[in-house]
Structure 1
Amino acid sequence: MRSLGALPKPVLILEVIGIAFLLLSYLSLNGYVALPAPFGNATAAIIMVFLGIALMIPAAAFMVWAMAQNVAPLLTKGQSPVKKSLSDKPKDKHDDADH
Structure 2
Amino acid sequence: MRNLARLPKNLLVMEALGGLLILGALLFANHWLSVPAGVDSKTLATALLLAGIALMLPAAWLMIWRTAQSMAPQLFGHTDKKTDTRRRP
Residue in 1 aligned with 2:67? 67
Where structure 1 has 5 or more consecutive residues not aligned to the other structure, the ranges are 82-99
Check conservation: 1:28, 1:40, Cα contact below 8 A.
no
1:15 aligns with 2:30: no
Q: Name which one, 1 or 2, has greater alpha-carbon Rg.
A: 1
What's the secondary structure of 1:37's corresponding residue? coil
Structure 1's 80 and 12: CA in aligned 2 closer, same or farther, altered over 3 A? closer
What's the secondary structure of 2:31's corresponding residue? coil
Structure 1's 38 and 50: CA in aligned 2 closer, same or farther, altered over 3 A? farther
1:33 maps to a residue whose letter is L
Identity of matched residues, %? 35
Structure 1's 2 and 67: CA in aligned 2 closer, same or farther, altered over 3 A? closer
1:57 aligns with 2:57: yes
Whole-Å separation in 2 of the counterparts to 1:70 and 1:13: 25
| Paired residues for 1:31-46 under 5 Å | 31-37=31-37, 41-46=41-46
For normalisation by structure 2, the TM-score amounts to 0.74
Structure 1's 13 and 45: CA in aligned 2 closer, same or farther, altered over 3 A? same
Whole-Å separation in 1 of the counterparts to 2:39 and 2:7: 31
1:51 maps to a residue whose letter is A
Aligned residues: 79
For normalisation by structure 1, the TM-score amounts to 0.68
Indicate the RMSD between aligned Cα atoms, in angstroms: 2.2
Where structure 2 has 5 or more consecutive residues not aligned to the other structure, the ranges are 82-89
